[in-house]
Amino acid sequence: PHEFPIERPTQRLLVVANRLPVSATRKGDDWHLELSAGGLVSALLGVKQNFETRWIGWAGVNVPDEHGQQTLAAALAENGCFPVWLDDDTVDQYYNGYCNNVLWPLFHYIGLPQEDRLAATRSLQTQFKAYKVANEMFARAVYSQYQEGDVVWCHDYHLMFLPKFLKDMNSQMKVGWFLHTPFPSSEIYRTLPLRSELLKAVLTADLIGFHTYDYARHFVSACTRILGVEGTPEGVEDQGKLTRVAAFPIGIDPQRFIEALETDVVKSHIQELRARFAGRKVMLGVDRLDMIKGIPQKLLAFEKFLEENIDWRDKVILVQIAVPTRTDVYEYQRLTSQVHEIVGRINGRFGTLTTVPIHHLDRSLAFHELCAVYAITDVALVTSLRDGMNLVSYEFVACQTQKKGVLILSEFAGAAQSLGAGAILVNPWNVSDVAMSIEDALTMKEAERNERHRHNFMHVTTHTAQAWADTFVSELNDTIVEAELRTLR
């Protein structure tokens, strides 16, 4: 048959996430917008090319006055962003409460709030109501931007009700939902009160995506066990309606990093850092300061390594960059103090008059600084206790074309399934094992480092953020065609 070239207009993609990719701060009548750090933002930055993308989400600030809302909305619109206005109480109940105090720990196997965490908050029921109300507000914001033919892509555990509210408004809307965290074993998930309502709401989406096959399988098991619906190789079937469930491993935009390494600004940072750390091997951790990242476990392993390897004490430095997040939550404040205490102890024990073994920063780095520090690193340490994917490991690999350093990676990060063959995999709870892996990594022969890097680099440069989004959206388009076919039959 003859193939006709079909001119297709660029598809409009409405990306809905709790947070917009920018943070806004007010300066009188003006707004200052800054790109925020985080996995979701990094991944979606690499997506823009093939779609006309609009972002819908919360700008991270409470703007009670109408004038402020108008000026901020105008500044955001210039960047393709459209805000959802959340007041302080909603943020407290929905975001700090149900999202970060209930779903986040549950999905990362920390479990539901115990008494001390519950006491500080109101009941789960109240938070759950606020969660639904907030999701409805997001739905209205999406609806006001929606045009026929648009694809709506909802992101993460904050917005599990969004597919349902959108479908209630317009059943023809193409709606996909992607989870950036792990989906836990159904044995953990089923401890959640109101577990059915949340699952049913997500199942109204046309396509549901996870980072790994395991998370998708856990989700399907939760649906079959809790809702009594049928699990099929394609997804979940309920009374003849199939919701497709699949794995779509996320990636980064590797070119953005590779090209940055060639710029003068990054090159001069690299020179400065090399001079600063001359004569020492550099180990690196880059994490949001979150309990899931296993920062205390990483520090304890490094301490054990120094204890047992006297000769290495003045020959290695661990640079740990920890961006503070959720700083108003008690558990995060406690974690910060704990990390500071361990860093202080290790530096006290093993430091000298001129140097300390850990260089710890409580802040985020600018992109060019981050690239430079990735490039000069000999060993990167990712010790997440649970992590949906972990993009830091991907970014490190992308920046190692020269050095071909070693990645030590937790087996509990989704990335272990894609970079497992090139990395040294560890159980972060096993401090002795991680300490030994540090030694193996620091002494690894060049040939083995090259081989491991080649494997990882191949993966990172082929499984990109763009490919992730293209695959998800094209599957989403297909699921609708299937649904339409069924109604035609």
Binding site for ligand ADQ (CB under 6 A): 37-40, 42-43, 180-181, 250, 286-288, 321, 323, 364-365, 370, 387-392, 395
Nearer to ligand ADQ, 97 or 249 (CB): 249
The answer to whether residues 399 and 261 touch, using CB atoms and an 8 Å cutoff, is yes
Shortest distance in whole angstroms from residue 455 CB to ligand ADQ? 20
Closest listed residue to residue 257, CA positions, set 160, 80, 402? 402
Shortest distance in whole angstroms from residue 16 CB to ligand ADQ? 15
Nearer to ligand ADQ, 77 or 366 (CB): 366
Q: Sort strands 81-84 and 207-210 into parallel, antiparallel or unpaired.
A: unpaired
Nearer to ligand ADQ, 24 or 319 (CB): 319
Nearer to ligand ADQ, 46 or 422 (CB): 46
Shortest distance in whole angstroms from residue 363 CB to ligand ADQ? 7
Nearer to ligand ADQ, 287 or 303 (CB): 287
Distance CA 342, CA 345 (A): 5
The answer to whether the Cα torsion of 482, 212, 110, 229 is positive or negative is: positive
Nearer to ligand ADQ, 215 or 350 (CB): 215
Nearer to ligand ADQ, 197 or 369 (CB): 369
Shortest distance in whole angstroms from residue 201 CB to ligand ADQ? 21
Nearer to ligand ADQ, 132 or 377 (CB): 377
Q: Sort strands 235-238 and 81-84 into parallel, antiparallel or unpaired.
A: unpaired
Shortest distance in whole angstroms from residue 367 CB to ligand ADQ? 8
Nearer to ligand ADQ, 83 or 251 (CB): 251
The answer to whether residues 382 and 407 touch, using CB atoms and an 8 Å cutoff, is yes
Residue nearest ligand ADQ by beta-carbon distance: 39
Shortest distance in whole angstroms from residue 103 CB to ligand ADQ? 12
Shortest distance in whole angstroms from residue 288 CB to ligand ADQ? 5
